[in-house]
Amino acid sequence: MKEISIPFKQIGTIQTPYYSNAPYQPVDTAEDNFSIAINREYVDGLSDLWKFNYAYVLFYAHKAQGRAEMVVAPPWAKGKKVGLFSSRSPSRPNPIGLSVVRIKDVKENIIFISGIDVFNGTPLLDIKPYIKDLDNKSDANYGWLDELDNKEHLTLHIKGIPHEH
């Protein structure tokens, strides 16, 4: 099948304290400042967003390097290899990331958010509200994570939750 090229616009920029290391997933309790600056031309699109507690943030992992591998070993999973599309790796054919964050405030073109797992300056592709019940599947499971010996401990690493070893 012929591949088509799909153009996306950067609609804003994500501001974080992370320059070379970022958590594997958003850390809700991170105390630094996290925000998203929306380009001025889209600011009217932010009305009513403050009414939601959470939002999906879709971003372009602009620092992903090299060709995307179809089998990956997530850095926290002790060498386990899985298919790329069963992982949350940022190195993908389309390096699009998805994070759920708490909306703390919206002022003019800035959304103040809880911790997000991206490098400072990451281009924003889209924002969508996270809607109770609609976005929460009661029978969601852990997939291949159930095959890990110490899943509970490793998921603390993924979520950046401090714990004793």
Ligand X SMILES: C[S@@+](CC[C@H](N)C(=O)[O-])C[C@H]1O[C@@H](n2cnc3c(N)ncnc32)[C@H](O)[C@@H]1O
Nearest to 20 by CA among 116, 98, 157, 119: 119
Which residue of 27, 55, 77, 90 would you call a contact of ligand X, by CB under 6 A? 90
3-state secondary structure 12-56: EEEECCCCCCCCCCCCCCCCCCEEEEECHHHHHHHCCHHHCCEEE
Which residue of 27, 46, 114, 117 would you call a contact of ligand X, by CB under 6 A? 117
Nearer to ligand X by Cβ, of 101 and 106: the residue is 101
Nearer to ligand X by Cβ, of 93 and 107: the residue is 93
Distance set, CA 138 to CA 16, 52, 78, 129, 155 (Å): 31, 20, 28, 19, 19
**Smallest distance, ligand X to C-beta of residue 15, A:** 12
Which residue of 38, 55, 77, 99 would you call a contact of ligand X, by CB under 6 A? 99
- Binding residues for ligand X restricted to 14-43, rule: CB under 6 A: 22-25
CB atoms within 10 A of CB 5: 4
Does 114 participate in binding ligand X (rule CB under 6 A)? no
Residues that bind ligand X (CB under 6 A): 22-25, 61-64, 88, 90, 97-99, 117-119, 122
